[in-house]
């Protein structure tokens, strides 16, 4: 029998209990053993809920119980999750987690602790919710050198941008509705400012290149400055605006950022709408591949966590090699990163813009007359910042077409 302890009985924790209970037969067949949730750790009581019988409030009960082989950490945050996870690994228990903050900050170290204790630290659910992406990078795309990872990694912002596009609404109105419906957090900062996507692209980039990418080093821009006028322009250009987490290996230098992008229908991620996530990967042998599905939510996330529990059970006594060294990758300076920019400026004229930016395509939308909008040729971020200095900038969005 495999005994499991679940740390945290919130949305994902209750999902984990539901998945293990509902799919017990097929899970046990895959593991080849009976599976038993021995403990659920939470500070709260859950009267009337079946977990009340296995509920504990003290982590010591779990970490000191030799019968517990797998710990599921779905509490979120760094404290006390980091201590609990590290102690579980040191006590010879494998850990499955959905906690992207923990993985982004301490992934390399916890993998090392797992290896030295011959157990596993697994985190499929930390990026892309229910979408398989960590295991494919670690185990399937291993013949390739990955040259690009670009993902719509945050469901909340993709929902907001999709709704702004479909209904012509502004950011604040859509955010408010999303909060009322429970799609967006009451404090939406981590999502709308891009911090959540930043941690996720940091994890994917670290795994793709086998070394530590500090999320603090990743240039991050959210969607709070995107207006319904920007969306009007995007539509005129046959484009949509998406929040990308992206990493590109250009001539051996890795550039990583989170920022809104305008993409047209030729882009693989164009049809990833609403709360869905999509992750595009380019390998030097494979070419393009894409992963799509539900990047958040109780059961999709729990499904990925329980898949890790199955993997941990199947590899009991064996460390699954995951290359993510603590040595840090120095990311390329964003000033040298090149792309086209969609730009909106005030108080100028077309001749002046052409004189400054050279070959640009102007774009106009009905009802917007007191500004100029145009798309530049490919230029570096540094060049763009320099050229735009003498203008009154309304907004600029990187474009991928």
Residue ranges binding ligand HSE (CB under 6 A): 129, 154-156, 191, 196, 295-296
CB closer to ligand HSE out of 159 and 342: 159
Spatial neighbors of 229 by CB under 8 A, at least 6 apart, are 344, 365, 368
- Gap between the Cα atoms of 10 and 74, Å rounded: 8
State both tokens at 331.
């990311």
Whole-angstrom distance, CA of residue 189 vs CA of residue 175 = 11
Pick between residue 73 and residue 191 the one whose CB is nearest to ligand HSE: 191
Question: Of the two residues 278 and 295, which places its CB atom closer to ligand HSE in the complex?
Answer: 295
Q: Closest distance between ligand HSE and the C-beta of residue 296, in Å?
A: 4
Cα distance between the two ends of the chain: 54
Please, what is the minimum distance in Å from the beta carbon of residue 362 to ligand HSE?
A: 35
Residue identified by tokens 């040595």 is: 327
Catalytic residue among 200, 211, 248, 340: 200
Contact 329, 212 (CB under 8 A): yes
CA angle, 54 then 67 then 129, to 5°: 65
- The yes-or-no answer on residue 115 being catalytic is no
- The DSSP code sequence of 313-349 is HHTTT-PPP---EEEEP-PPPGGG-EEEEEEEEES--
d(CA 395, CA 378): 17
CA neighbor of 344 nearest in space, from 243, 216, 193, 237: 237
- Shortest Å distance, C-beta 152 to ligand HSE: 9
Contact predicate 155/273, CB 8 Å: no
Peptide bond into 80 cis (omega under 30): yes
The residue (of 156 and 162) whose beta carbon lies closer to ligand HSE is: 156
Least distance to ligand HSE from the beta carbon of 163, Å?
A: 14
Distance separating alpha carbons of residues 103 and 141, to the nearest angstrom: 21
Cβ 55 to ligand HSE shortest distance, Å:
25
- Shortest Cβ 184–ligand HSE spacing (Å): 8
Q: Measured from the CB atom, is 154 or 322 closer to ligand HSE?
A: 154
Q: Which is nearer to ligand HSE, 13 or 295 (CB)?
A: 295
CA distances from 359 to 102, 238, 371, 375, 382 (A): 46, 20, 19, 9, 18
Residue with Cβ nearer ligand HSE (156 or 212): 156
In the complex, the smallest distance separating the C-beta of residue 183 from ligand HSE, rounded to whole angstroms, is 8
Question: Cβ closer to ligand HSE: 111 or 304?
Answer: 304
Alpha-carbon distance of 343 to 91, in angstroms, equals 55
Residue 160 and residue 222 in contact, taking contact as beta carbons nearer than 8 Å: no
CA of 374: how far to CAs of 90, 195, 342, 344, 358, in Å?
Answer: 57, 29, 6, 7, 11
Least separation, in Å, of the C-beta of 241 and ligand HSE?
17
What SS3 class is residue 312?
A: helix
Residues classed as catalytic: 200
């Amino acid at each position: 029998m495999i005994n499991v302890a679940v740390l945290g009985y919130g949305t994902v924790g209750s999902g984990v209990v539901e998945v293990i209970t509902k799919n017990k037969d097929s899970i046990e067949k895959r593991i080849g053993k009976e599976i038993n949730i021995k403990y659920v750790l939470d500070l709260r009581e859950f009267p009337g809920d079946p977990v009340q019988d296995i509920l504990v409030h003290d982590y010591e009960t779990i970490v000191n119980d030799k019968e517990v082989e797998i710990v599921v950490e779905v509490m979120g945050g760094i404290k006390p999750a980091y201590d609990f996870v590290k102690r579980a690994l040191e006590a010879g228990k494998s850990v499955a987690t959905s906690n992207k903050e923990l993985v982004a900050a301490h992934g390399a170290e916890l993998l090392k602790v797992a290896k030295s204790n011959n157990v596993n630290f697994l985190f499929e659910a930390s990026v892309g919710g229910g979408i398989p992406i960590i295991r494919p990078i670690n185990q399937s795309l291993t013949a390739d050198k990955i040259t690009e990872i670009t993902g719509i990694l945050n469901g909340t912002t993709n929902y907001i941008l999709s709704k702004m596009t479909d209904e012509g609404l502004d950011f604040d109105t859509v955010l408010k509705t999303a909060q009322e419906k429970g799609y967006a957090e009451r404090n939406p900062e981590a999502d709308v400012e891009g911090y959540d996507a930043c941690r996720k692209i940091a994890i994917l980039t670290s795994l793709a290149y086998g070394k530590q990418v500090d999320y603090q080093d990743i240039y991050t821009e959210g969607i709070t400055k995107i207006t319904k006028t920007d969306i009007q322009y995007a539509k005129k250009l046959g484009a949509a605006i998406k929040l990308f987490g992206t990493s590109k290996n250009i001539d051996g230098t890795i550039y990583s950022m989170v920022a809104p992008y305008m993409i047209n229908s030729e882009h693989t991620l164009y049809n990833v709408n609403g709360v869905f996530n999509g992750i595009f990967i380019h390998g030097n042998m494979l070419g393009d591949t894409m992963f799509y599905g539900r990047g958040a939510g109780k059961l999709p996330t729990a499904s990925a966590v329980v898949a890790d529990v199955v993997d941990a059970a199947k590899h009991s006594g064996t460390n699954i090699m995951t290359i993510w060294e603590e040595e840090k990758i120095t990311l390329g300076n964003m000033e040298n990163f090149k792309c086209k920019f969609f730009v909106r400026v005030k108080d100028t004229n077309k001749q002046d813009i052409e004189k400054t930016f050279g070959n640009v395509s102007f774009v106009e939308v009905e009802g917007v007359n007191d500004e100029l909008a145009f798309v530049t040729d490919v230029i570096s971020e540094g060049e763009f910042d320099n050229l735009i200095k003498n203008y009154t900038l309304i907004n600029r969005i990187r474009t991928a077409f």
